[in-house]
Structure 1
Amino acid sequence: MEGTTVFTPSLEGMKLVKSENGEMLTKPFLDVCKLILPVLDKFGAAMALVKSDIGGNITRLETKYSTNPTKYNLLYSMVQEEVGAKTAKGSSSCTNGLLWLTRAMDFLVELFRNLLEHADWTMSQACLDSYGKTLKKWHGWLASSSFSVNVS
């Protein structure tokens, strides 16, 4: 198939993540997020922590979804429920998992953009630049310094 890349399934899946009303559908969204995991394997150990974090957040959301697929058909329904119960800010909440999953996806989009636009950069340069533009503001100094060591 000409024009097919490792990103083709994700791009095709993106067309299915919203309802007719523009709301995010839980299962299609998580299915698209899962498609990136095998791509991250291609980067080896450098992306192991990112892959683990993404996979864990997907699993957390899938576990909640599977308890009542009708109730949690829309991604926002999980967030609404946790906000109502005042559990959304908890470190093990689905809201927190969704927040970090989307932040990780932002990082990966920036990383792939860097790799495409800066073919002369090392993987470390591309990762550090992407991290600085996306995740660094959300991490404390310890996490930031750990990230620097992991990609070097």
Structure 2
Amino acid sequence: MTEEQTAFQRVITLSYTDVQVGKHGIDTAQFLEATDGTVNMFDLFGSAAFSVVQSDMSNNVSKIRARFLENPIEYNTLENLMAKEAHLKRRLATEAVLWLKRGLDFTAQSLEHSIKNPDEELTVSFSLAYDKTLKPYHNFLVRPIFNLAMNACPWRKDFYESIGVQTDESIQLMRSWLEALLRLIAKLDAVFDKNPAYLKH
């Protein structure tokens, strides 16, 4: 195991492949722990421009965790958390789940496109993913900030070296991580589709 690989494992302390999904939904505590690692991964980009992406996701994680810690048993899954919060006047955690899902979708699609297109720099992969995921929900003030971040992506070679994804084995590990994340996103998409009231704040 190389030093670069241990660096990736140190950031991603819990993989999305290990997040349990039961009959009542996605385990809240595990999902938040796995997402902490994703948020921390942006540190490896080495660009202050990405702080806006990282900060947005981190703030949403904090809002969900605050609600979860009020009653870890009652809010044991994201689905239960949102269902129970639906009766409240302010559904801050539900809104945070929505925006975190969008941010994670952006991240997942960016990295998935990058892995499938090894000749493209990260700027291309992240820009394409931004256009499909977050951009439709951003206003004219926010879009330039995110476009700046997309253009500030590190060189592909440097980034993959920093996270230790260079061998066939490590690439497959990352693919599994991404596939698990995309499955969780799809499950959350289905929840919001089934409960349109969750989108009203």
TM-score over 0.5 (shorter chain): yes
1:16-27 alignment runs, 5 A limit: 16-19=19-22, 21=23, 23-27=25-29
Which amino acid is 1:67 matched to? E
Residues 46-125 of structure 1 aligned to structure 2 (within 5 Å): 46-88=49-91, 93-125=92-124
1:27 Cα deviation from its structure 2 partner: 0.4
**Larger helix proportion, structure 1 or 2?**
2
Among 40, 52, 64, which residue is 2:42 paired with? Answer: 40
Q: Offset of 1:132 from its aligned partner?
A: 0.7
Q: What RMSD, in angstroms, separates the aligned Cα atoms of the two structures?
A: 2.3
Alignment correspondent of 2:132: 133
**Which runs of 5 or more structure 1 residues have no equivalent in the other structure?**
none
Structure 1 segments (4+ residues) deviating >6 Å? none
Matches of 2:88 and 2:24, distance apart in 1: 25
Structure 1 window deviating more from structure 2 (101-110 vs 134-143): it is: 134-143
Cα distance in 2, alignment partners of residues 94 and 146 from structure 1 = 25
Q: How many percent of aligned residue pairs carry the same amino acid?
A: 25
Question: Secondary structure of the residue that 2:25 maps to in structure 1?
Answer: coil
1 or 2 for the larger relative contact order (CA 8 Å, sep ≥6)?
Answer: 2
Q: Provide closer, same or farther for how the CA distance between residues 10 and 113 of structure 1 changes in structure 2, counting only shifts above 3 A.
A: farther
Secondary structure of the residue aligned to 1:35 is helix
| Cα separation, partners in 2 of 1:44 and 1:33, compared to 1, 3 Å | same
Q: What is the CA distance between 1:110 and its match in structure 2? A: 0.9
For 1:73-94, what per-residue CA distance to the aligned partner results, in whole angstroms no more than 9, with x for missing partners? 1212221233212423xxxx10
Normalising by the residue count of structure 2, what TM-score does the alignment of the two structures yield?
0.63
Equivalent pairs counted in the alignment come to: 145
- Give secondary structure in 2 for the equivalent of 1:36: helix
Q: Deviations over 1:22-50 (max 9, x none)?
A: 51111011111112123211112242211
What residue identity is the alignment partner of 1:23? G
Distance in 2 (CA, whole Å) between partners of 1:61 and 1:70 is 14
CA distance in 1, matches of 2:89, 2:70: 20
Distance in 1, matches of 2:42 and 2:59, equals 14
Distance across 1 between alignment mates of 2:60 and 2:34: 13
Residue 97 of structure 1 aligns to which amino acid in structure 2? Answer: A
Return the offset for 1:9: 5.0
